[in-house]
Amino acid sequence: MAPSRGLLLQFSPGKLLQSSNVRGIRRRFSSFSEAIIDPSNRIQSYISRSNDPYLNLSIEHHLLQTSPPDSTVLFLYTNRPCIVIGRNQNPWLEVNLRILNAVKSGKAKETEPPVIGSVDLVRRRSGGGAVFHDEGNVNWSIICPPANFTRDKHAEMVVRALRKLGIDRARVNERHDIVLDQGHRKYDTDPQDTHKTPYTSDDGAGPRPLKVSGSAYKLTRRRALHHGTCLLASPNLHVIPQYLHSPARPYLRARGVESVSSPVGNIGLVNHVFEKSIQDEFATVYRDAGNVPTVVTVGEEHLSTPEIRKGYDELKTLEWTYSQTPQFTFSSHLVDQDGHEKAPHTIPFSARICFKVQHGIITESLVEGPAIASEQLKWFQSRLQNQKLRDIKDWNHLLATEHGNSAQEINAIATWLGDMMPIAEIDRT
């Protein structure tokens, strides 16, 4: 990534961290921000050497908010193991939060998957579905003028970069994802057609393509953001389905976006090789008057940029992670769209419990059942009313009771709710 004509500033994380000149450090940070907003800097390329998902998403958001309206920006980053959900998703619906808690508390059995250590839960600012990130997954992001945005344009750019590395099965599918066709070679295709390969099965027969890159978008009046994942060499494919399978899903009716499951696979590339190919293809598409953008390295030192720090701190709050969840209803006895009650799943109690959640707060609740006395039913509902889900660390503590014959039933409900609706702690360090 040698400097060339175009952006003239190269920021070295190592030099910044080693410097003892505070005034000089501030000047470097200022230069980074000034380079982003410079109206003459129409083509910008960045790569992060941090694996902190909160920081990388905050740098990305800073680029979206401050880069010139007519500029185009490439940002590449790799995160440590984490689950990233979309802006309008429900974490209890999309994620097995029990696994996250078990691993963080040290209670997970090493003889049973998952055994990959701590996994962060992050809500991004763009839409789309839930994805699993790790060190074998490079994330690519393009920020451009809205007039230049289409849902396929930059996925096609990534496909061209992959094909130049010999990945001739790569294409963009009808969902704007990047997949690898798994069929046998049938015919020759136009190499420039990024939506078909010699292995594409038009009739749907044969093995399904493997998804290797999904996308999410954020559109504002001034800017368009398109970012995606790219599975290169993840060692965790075997446990990803467990992390993204919530035990609470059968009991939830939610607004917002639900993820669509697809078979996934690794491309089989080394991160830096993929990164270089993407940077080269980006430069080919967007070179400005023959100038190739310099690749600027960013990282932990940019937490000192106030706007980045603000976004970073917000992403790590329980308020952002959980209370931004769209309205949903949780019920032990579900009712279908026609108003018919479905047979309940196996539950360890005889009562019926239902509550509605808005902005992360229980606004309505209903508890009824023969094993709970009427005065305890009222008490139970009063304990739930106006509770912020993000503040419930222990359902047994919230609903602890010694009310005679009702105690066993209420304690069983509390234990079950703790399994279905846990809160995964966030490391704020």
Non-local (6+) Cβ contacts of 235 within 8 A are 134, 136
Q: How far is residue 85 CA from its own chain's centroid?
A: 4
How far apart, in whole angstroms, are the C-alpha atoms of residue 391 and residue 322? 10
The CA-to-CA distance between both ends of the chain, in Å, stands at 32
Q: Strands (DSSP E) along 9-119, which ranges?
A: 43-48, 72-78, 82-85
What pLDDT does residue 25 have? 34
Q: Give tens-digit pLDDT for 35-65.
A: 999 999 999 999 999 999 999 999 999 999 9
Strands 328-331 and 120-123 come out as unpaired
Residue 134, pLDDT above cutoff 50: yes
Q: What is the mean pLDDT of the segment spanning 317-334?
A: 93
Q: Give tens-digit pLDDT for 205-236.
A: 778 999 999 999 999 999 999 999 999 999 99
* Domain 329-420 CATH (choose: 3.40.50.10490, 3.30.70.100, 3.30.390.50, 3.90.1260.10): 3.30.390.50
329-420 shares the fold of 13-322: no
pTM, entire model: 0.88
Domain-wise residue ranges, the chain = 13-322, 329-420
State which fold the 13-322 domain adopts.
BirA Bifunctional Protein; domain 2 (3.30.930)
Read off φ and ψ for residue 256, nearest 5 degrees.
Answer: 100, -165
Q: Give tens-digit pLDDT for 369-424.
A: 888 888 889 999 999 999 999 999 999 999 987 666 789 999 999 999 999 999 98
Confidence of residue 32 (pLDDT cuts 50, 70, 90): confident
How far apart, in whole angstroms, are the C-alpha atoms of residue 357 and residue 324? 11
